[in-house]
Structure 1
Amino acid sequence: MDMRRVVAVLAEEAMQQLQDQLWKLAASDRALASETEARLRNVVGPANSQEALPQIDRLEHLREALAVLAISLARTHGRMAWFLSGALNALEPVLRWRALPAEGGGTFGTVLVGPEEYTEAEEAVRQLQDTLARITAA
């Protein structure tokens, strides 16, 4: 399953839990969702600006997005933590990507990926941004 689909399933579940009032947002959840969304928007911008960057910069931005999610996860618990954990899990393949050639040495299991994979991951981050905005507004 691709990253966008995993994030779409997470978003659907989050919205359903909010609608069914299984997830009762605390003020701290809303604040964290808002802060996380803003930070994600700062590191992964619109498609046209991201796609114009060299792959090494795109990878850096995606890794920064993972860091944003990890820091937010460390600051919460309950359903918000579960949601953020699912988001990190969806984007986990990015951790094995590299943008530089191996130059004859080992790569520690990392792989070169093409522009399609970068686009997919960036779109998944944008889906997370939108879902966090919806969580904030709920």
Structure 2
Amino acid sequence: MDMRRIVAVLAEEAEQQIQEGVWELAPSDRALARKAEAGLRDAVGPPDVQESLPQIDRLEHLRETLAVLAVSLARTHGRLAWFLSGAINALEPVLRWRALPAGHGGTFGTVSPTPDEYTEAEEAVRRLQDALAQITAP
């Protein structure tokens, strides 16, 4: 399953749990989710902006999204933590990517992603941004 699909499934589950009253965000979780959503939007912009960047910058922005999610995860528990953990897991392939040529020696298991893989990850982040905005809406 690709990153976009994993995030879509997470978003659908979150929306369902909120609609059914299973997940009621506490005010502190709502604020944290809004902060995470803003951080993701700051890191990964619209497709035309991201696709015009050099690959090294695109990778940097995707790694920033993982940092935003990790910090948010560290500050919460329960369903929001589970949701954020699932999002981090979905974007995990980004951790093995590199934008620089290998040169001599090993690469510690990293791989050079294709342009389509960058796009897939960025689209997954945008879907995650939308999901966080939706679950925190009044």
Structure 1 segments unaligned to the other structure (5+ residues)? none
CA distance in 1, matches of 2:79, 2:52: 36
Per-residue CA deviations over 1:5-54 (Å, capped at 9, x if unaligned) read 00000000000000110101100111011110001100100000000000
Residue of structure 2 in register with 1:59 after alignment: 59
Equivalent residue letter for 1:121: A
Deviating beyond 6 angstroms after TM superposition, the runs of 4 or more aligned structure 1 residues are none
Cα distance in 2 for partners of 1:84, 1:113 equals 24
Q: CA deviation at 1:106?
A: 0.5
2:79 maps to 1:79: yes
Deviation at 1:101, TM superposition (A): 0.6
Q: Distance in 1 between matches of 2:131 and 2:99?
A: 29
Could you tell me which amino acid in structure 2 is paired with residue 38 of structure 1?
A: A
2:11 corresponding residue in structure 1: 11
What SS does the aligned partner of 1:41 have?
helix
* Count of aligned residue pairs for this structure pair: 138
How far did 1:125 drift?
A: 0.3
Deviation at 1:105, TM superposition (A): 1.3
- TM-score normalised to the size of structure 2? 0.99
Q: Which runs of 5+ in 2 are unaligned?
A: none
Partner of 2:118: 118
Mapped to 2, the partners of 1:10 and 1:66 lie a distance apart of 16
Q: Determine the C-alpha separation between the residues in 1 that align with 2:128 and 2:28.
A: 18
| Code of the aligned partner of 1:134 | Q
Matched, 1:44 2:40: no
Give the letter aligned to residue 133 of structure 1.
A
SS where residue 60 of structure 1 aligns? helix
Structure 1 length-normalised TM: 0.99
Cα distance between partner residues in 2 of 1:30 and 1:98? 34
Q: Deviations over 1:102-131 (max 9, x none)?
A: 102100000011100000000000000000
Q: Which amino acid aligns with 1:62?
A: L
